[in-house]
Structure 1
Amino acid sequence: MRLLLIFCLLLTTAAQAACPPNPERSARHTELMALLADAPNETVAREYSNELWNIWGTAPDTTAQEILQRGMERRQAFDLRGALEDFNTLIDYCPGYAEGYNQRAFINFIGRDYEIALEDLDRALAITPDHIGALTGRALALIQLGRDREGQLVLREALKLNPWLPERNRVTPLPPVPQETVPEVEL
């Protein structure tokens, strides 16, 4: 048993070392972000957004791509446990790849584990700050947790990047800033 544990640890370490670094942001990615922000209608925005999803969904190597694809197929088949296992494997293999965290967050969101989803969304956004899917997911998770003001602010941030997001209908007036109660002091 101990040898098996050591073997698994060595395999995990070797797998992490084998994942290549993320490629630099492409000129097309930058161009798409600008085009999307100024898209004249929802149809055009969807075309740009789909191309961005293709960029975000392109893993650093073939192994990572296969793990990502299998996890997404499992999610679509409602095998959420299997999908979660795949996304955990992907993150272990390529901890610098934002889409692994974003996809795992989506599984946790579906399972209503919003706090865990937020942790992964924050990791995805630390790697790819303009990941519109992660921003939108973060906004929705915050709202589900009753953190409406914070969620609405994040949703507005996502809408600056893509004003045609389907979630645009979730924008509500900003709740007031909570007032801190100041204890009264007797003089």
Structure 2
Amino acid sequence: MRDFITVALCSLLLVSGALADQNDPELAGLFDRLQATGDADEAQVIAQRIWFVWYEHENAEIEFLMEQGEVSMRRSELEDAVSIYSRVIDIDPEFAEGWNRRATIHYLMGEYDLSTSDVKRTLALEPRHFGALSGQGLIHMRQENLQQALEYFERALEVNPHMPNIRENVEFLKKELNADVI
């Protein structure tokens, strides 16, 4: 009986790892918990788990490339990072986090139209992607499209109400937009 339980648990772990990405069934419960918690520390742990699940992929080559993209980004080798994330997207165009990471690099390079294109694809694959939603808000702020920025930040907070920087952006934008009306 004990061997059966061990095999069942190992099988469950293998299956859950194979499903890891924006389609992982674990995400529904995580998002429910993120919405329900009033504890900032717990919210941070849950949000980190969501990011971890989004980042995982069953393909070892994609896992390796994602890590290499992060290294390139940390080293400010942004052209290399774009190439790496483009390779991820070529291998699996249904992997939302590949699109999101490339969107982030395009944003850092000031390529806002390319970033927006990648954000749209990210959100088509994972509409709850609060990172992509808030990233699109930042793009709109840079482009001085304040109403659109506000809308994206508010959508991000609907998914993850525990982002103080985004909440501050919402408050700032509401003041700015009200000042323009007066």
Fold match, TM over 0.5? yes
Secondary structure of the equivalent of 2:94? Answer: coil
Given the superposition, is the C-alpha separation of residues 125 and 60 from structure 1 closer, same or farther in structure 2, using an over 3 Å criterion? farther
Question: RMSD in angstroms over aligned alpha carbons?
Answer: 2.3
Select the residue among 101, 104, 124 that pairs with 1:103. 101
Select the residue among 80, 83, 104 that pairs with 1:82. 80
Larger radius of gyration: 1
Secondary structure of the equivalent of 1:40? Answer: coil
Higher helix share: 2
Unaligned runs of 5+ in 1: 1-19, 177-187
Percent identity, aligned pairs only, is 23
Offset, 1:21: 9.1
Report if aligned partners of 1:21, 1:96 keep a CA contact under 8 Å in 2: no
Report if aligned partners of 2:22, 2:53 keep a CA contact under 8 Å in 1: no
Select the residue among 148, 151, 154 that pairs with 2:152. 154
Secondary structure of the equivalent of 1:146? Answer: coil
Offset, 1:24: 7.5
Offset, 1:143: 1.6
Given the superposition, is the C-alpha separation of residues 25 and 89 from structure 1 closer, same or farther in structure 2, using an over 3 Å criterion? closer
Select the residue among 64, 68, 90 that pairs with 1:70. 68
> Partners in 1 of 2:46 and 2:99 — Cα distance?
22
Q: How many residues align?
A: 159
1:43 equivalent in structure 2: 41
> Partners in 1 of 2:85 and 2:113 — Cα distance?
17
Offset, 1:42: 2.1
TM-score by length of 2: 0.80
2:140 equivalent in structure 1: 142
> Partners in 2 of 1:23 and 1:80 — Cα distance?
24
Paired amino acid for 1:43: D
Given the superposition, is the C-alpha separation of residues 23 and 143 from structure 1 closer, same or farther in structure 2, using an over 3 Å criterion? closer
Secondary structure of the equivalent of 1:122? Answer: helix
Paired amino acid for 1:173: K
Mapping 1:104-183, distance limit 5 Å: 104-165=102-163, 166-171=165-170, 172-173=173-174, 175=177
Unaligned runs of 5+ in 2: 1-17
- Structure 1 window deviating more from structure 2 (49-58 vs 109-118): it is 109-118
Select the residue among 49, 52, 55 that pairs with 2:50. 52
Given the superposition, is the C-alpha separation of residues 109 and 50 from structure 1 closer, same or farther in structure 2, using an over 3 Å criterion? same
Given the superposition, is the C-alpha separation of residues 24 and 89 from structure 1 closer, same or farther in structure 2, using an over 3 Å criterion? closer
**What do residues 125-157 of structure 1 show as CA deviations (whole Å, max 9, x unaligned)?**
001111111111111111211111011011101
Given the superposition, is the C-alpha separation of residues 44 and 155 from structure 1 closer, same or farther in structure 2, using an over 3 Å criterion? same
Given the superposition, is the C-alpha separation of residues 42 and 21 from structure 1 closer, same or farther in structure 2, using an over 3 Å criterion? closer
Whether 2:28 is the aligned partner of 1:30: answer: yes
- Structure 1 window deviating more from structure 2 (22-31 vs 133-142): it is 22-31
Paired amino acid for 2:137: A
TM-score by length of 1: 0.78
Report if aligned partners of 2:54, 2:97 keep a CA contact under 8 Å in 1: yes
